[in-house]
Amino acid sequence: MKLVGISGAIIGSKTAKIVDEVLTRAKAYGPEIDIELIDLKDYLVEMVDGRPLESYNDDTKNVIGKIIDADFFVIGTPVYQASIPGVLKNLLDHLPVTVFESKVVGYVSTAGSSHHSLVAENQLRPILSFFKAIVATKSVFVPNDSFNKESQIIDEDIDRRLTELSQELVYLQTKLANT
């Protein structure tokens, strides 16, 4: 089983940190799982313009290929201007409409303040529903004050919820794989 984490930020490190936490905890819960973090700041994913995938740059093709080949996912989004970032939406626009169909997907979000706690719920969840994903019941919102200066999580509730999300992803995927 391959669990891919997607960090939908091209600046900062907190979103990637949270996605990586979920991946690491899922691996501890299910040691047989292969994990990989796709941090969008490490790739130059071209803007969607209607061309066939094979005509985009290697980074774009590589990222899309990794997503297509994965069995389940955790997606991390920062919240900018009360919305998911355009780079994440652009990546989602590249994907085939069947990529998440009947696959388990969880999500986490980060933001400067708790005023943005429902952005992922109101924007990312409907997109995942469009893709016919099996969306995990647990999601985790992490405001900036939950991190210390070294970007380590200092909020015990957030820490617990990240573990619960990781366990739910592995549990759901294992059940799905055994049916």
- What confidence tens digit (pLDDT) does each residue in 115-144 have? 788 889 989 999 999 999 999 999 999 999
User: Mean pLDDT over residues 19-41, rounded?
Assistant: 97
Q: Is the pLDDT of residue 3 over 90?
A: yes
Rounded Cα–Cα distance for residues 17 and 19 (Å): 6
Say which residue the tokens 């994965």 belong to: 70
What would the two tokens of residue 104 be?
């388990």
User: Mean pLDDT over residues 92-114, rounded?
Assistant: 95
Residue scoring higher pLDDT (107 or 119): 107
Q: What is the pLDDT of residues 66-81, one digit of tens each?
A: 999 999 999 999 999 8
Helices (H) and strands (E) in the chain, counts: 5, 6
Q: Please report the pLDDT score of residue 127 as a whole number.
A: 97
User: What percent of the chain lies above the pLDDT cut of 90?
Assistant: 87
Q: How many CB atoms lie within 10 A of CB 85?
A: 19
The helix or strand, by DSSP H or E, that contains position 124, with its residue range, turns out to be helix 119-130
pTM of the entire predicted model: 0.96
Q: Please report the pLDDT score of residue 87 as a whole number.
A: 97
* C-alpha angle 84-133-6 in degrees, rounded to nearest 5: 45
Residue scoring higher pLDDT (48 or 150): 48
Rounded Cα–Cα distance for residues 20 and 7 (Å): 9
User: Mean pLDDT over residues 53-77, rounded?
Assistant: 98
How do the domains of the chain map onto residue ranges? 2-177
Rounded Cα–Cα distance for residues 85 and 79 (Å): 7
Which residues touch 156 (CB under 8 Å, ≥6 apart)?
none
Which residues touch 72 (CB under 8 Å, ≥6 apart)?
1, 2, 3, 4, 103, 104, 105, 169, 172, 173
**Topology annotation, domain 2-177:** Rossmann fold (3.40.50)
